[in-house]
C-alpha cells in the first residue's frame, strides 16, 4: 500500500506517521506538508531516514506540486493538512478557506483523476456547532459550524461527500473531538498551559472557563483512523470521541496538580467570539461497526502527555518562534 498523508508534520499527522511506521512497516508512506508555522520536521526525526518514508514539501492547494506524486501511483489519501486553530481563523479566515476548502478540492480532484482507492478526510466535531448542557453529536446531527475554522472544515466535508455522490470516489469522513498528546503546537490549550505553568507564567483561560470539550489521547485517534482507512464502509462518516467531557478549568487544574503548581496562576481573559459552549460525541457507530475502543482514560492520557512535554523541553523551545510570541501577545490580553 502506498499512502499519501497530508499535514504529516503537524500534531496529529506526525503521530499518525509514527503509528503507521510502527504498525505497517511494509507500507510506503509519502508525507506532504507545506511546513506552515504548525508543521515541524522535528516531530519526524526518528522516521526520516527509513527507506519506506518520503517527505515532500508541497501545498495541497497547488495541483502542479502534487500531480507528480499521484502520477507515481497512490493507493489511499488521508488528509490531515489544514489550518487548525480557531483563534487564528477569527484573525485570518481567508487562509482557512484557501487551505481547508480549496486544498481539499485539489486533493479530491487528483484522487478522482488518478483512481485513488480510498480518501479519508480527517474532520472535527466542531462542524456540528454547539450543544446545550445535555445530548451528544451523532453522525446524523446537522452541520452548524460557528467559527471560520469549523465552517471551512464543514465546507470540505461537503465537498468530500459530493465527490462520493457525484463521482463515486471511495471516501470516509471522520469527526473527532479534542486531541491531546505529544508534538502539539503550544498555541492549543494543553501544551500552552503546560508550557506556561512550567515557566510560572499566567495560564490564560477564556471567559468563565466552563466551556466543555470531549478529550481524546492522540494515539486513540490514530487507532480509529487506522480502522477507518482499512475497514471504513464506502461513503460513511464516523464520529470519534472518548466520552471524557471536561471543562477548560478542569483541564488546567489537572495540569497544575500534576506539575505541583498553584491555582493562582490561572488568569481569566476575554472570551473568544462565537465560543461554542459544549461539544460531546456519540462514537457508538465506530465502536459497533469497526470495533474501536480508546485505550487511554483521561487521567492516564493526560499524565503521559504532561510527562512527554517535561521530557522534551528542547522540542518546545525549538517550536516557539518570534512570530509565535507576537501572535500570543495579541491573542491573550488579560482582562
Q: Which residues make up the interface to ligand NAD (CB under 6 A)? A: 6-7, 9-13, 33-36, 38-39, 59-61, 80-84, 99, 103, 122, 124, 153, 176, 178-179, 185
> Which CB, 14 or 196, lies closer to ligand NAD?
14
Task: Kindly state the smallest distance separating residue 145's Cβ from ligand NAD, in Å.
Answer: 12
> Which CB, 60 or 108, lies closer to ligand NAD?
60
What contacts 17, CB < 8 A, 6 or more positions away? 5, 8, 29, 31, 44, 47, 53
Which residue out of 83, 125, 187, 245 is catalytically annotated? Answer: 125
For the question of residue 126 being annotated catalytic, the response is yes
> Which CB, 127 or 265, lies closer to ligand NAD?
127
Which residue out of 59, 83, 126, 245 is catalytically annotated? Answer: 126
Task: Kindly state the smallest distance separating residue 334's Cβ from ligand NAD, in Å.
Answer: 25
> Which CB, 53 or 80, lies closer to ligand NAD?
80
Give the angle 164-33-303 at the CA atoms, nearest 5°: 95
Task: Kindly state the smallest distance separating residue 215's Cβ from ligand NAD, in Å.
Answer: 9
Radius of gyration of the chain from Cα atoms?
A: 19
> Which CB, 39 or 155, lies closer to ligand NAD?
39
> Which CB, 123 or 196, lies closer to ligand NAD?
123
Please report, in angstroms and rounded to a whole number, the separation of the first and last CA atoms in the chain: 52
Task: Kindly state the smallest distance separating residue 107's Cβ from ligand NAD, in Å.
Answer: 10
Which residue out of 19, 53, 128, 149 is catalytically annotated? Answer: 149
Which residue number is nearest to ligand NAD in terms of Cβ? 10
Task: Kindly state the smallest distance separating residue 8's Cβ from ligand NAD, in Å.
Answer: 7
Task: Kindly state the smallest distance separating residue 99's Cβ from ligand NAD, in Å.
Answer: 4
- Residues designated as active site: 125-126, 149
Amino acid at each position: 500500500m502506498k499512502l499519501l498523508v497530508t499535514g504529516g508534520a503537524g500534531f496529529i499527522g506526525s503521530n499518525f506517521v509514527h503509528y503507521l511506521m510502527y504498525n505497517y512497516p511494509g507500507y510506503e508512506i509519502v508525507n506532504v506538508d507545506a511546513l506552515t508555522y504548525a508543521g515541524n520536521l522535528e516531530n519526524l526525526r526518528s522516521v526520516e531516514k527509513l527507506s519506506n518514508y518520503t517527505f515532500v514539501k508541497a501545498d495541497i492547494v497547488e495541483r502542479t506540486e502534487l500531480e507528480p506524486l499521484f502520477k507515481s501511483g497512490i493507493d489511499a489519501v488521508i488528509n490531515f493538512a489544514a489550518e487548525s486553530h480557531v483563534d487564528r481563523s477569527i484573525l485570518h479566515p481567508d487562509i482557512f478557506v484557501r487551505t481547508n476548502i480549496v486544498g481539499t478540492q485539489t486533493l479530491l480532484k487528483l484522487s478522482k483523476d488518478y483512481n485513488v482507492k480510498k480518501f479519508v478526510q480527517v474532520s472535527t466535531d466542531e462542524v456540528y456547532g454547539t450543544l446545550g448542557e445535555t445530548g451528544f453529536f451523532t453522525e446524523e446531527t446537522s452541520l452548524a459550524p460557528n467559527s471560520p475554522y469549523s465552517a471551512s472544515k464543514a465546507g470540505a466535508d461537503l465537498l468530500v461527500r459530493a465527490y462520493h455522490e457525484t463521482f463515486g470516489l471511495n471516501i470516509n469522513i471522520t469527526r473527532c473531538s479534542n486531541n491531546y498528546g505529544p508534538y502539539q503546537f503550544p498555541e492549543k490549550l494543553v501544551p500552552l498551559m503546560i508550557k506556561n505553568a512550567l515557566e510560572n507564567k499566567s495560564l490564560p483561560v477564556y471567559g468563565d472557563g466552563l466551556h466543555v470539550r470531549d478529550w481524546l489521547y492522540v494515539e486513540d485517534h490514530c487507532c480509529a483512523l487506522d480502522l477507518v482507512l482499512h475497514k471504513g464502509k464506502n461513503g460513511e462518516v464516523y464520529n470519534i470521541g472518548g466520552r471524557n467531557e471536561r471543562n477548560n478549568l478542569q483541564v488546567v487544574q489537572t495540569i497544575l496538580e500534576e506539575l505541583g503548581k498553584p491555582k493562582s496562576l490561572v488568569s481569566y481573559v476575554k472570551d473568544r467570539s462565537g465560543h461554542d459552549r459544549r461539544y460531546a460525541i456519540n462514537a457508538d457507530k465506530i465502536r459497533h461497526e469497526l470495533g474501536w475502543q480508546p485505550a487511554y482514560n483521561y487521567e492516564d492520557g493526560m499524565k503521559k502527555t504532561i510527562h512527554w512535554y517535561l521530557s522534551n523541553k528542547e522540542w518546545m523551545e525549538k517550536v516557539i518562534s518570534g512570530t509565535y510570541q507576537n501572535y500570543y501577545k495579541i491573542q491573550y490580553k488579560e482582562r
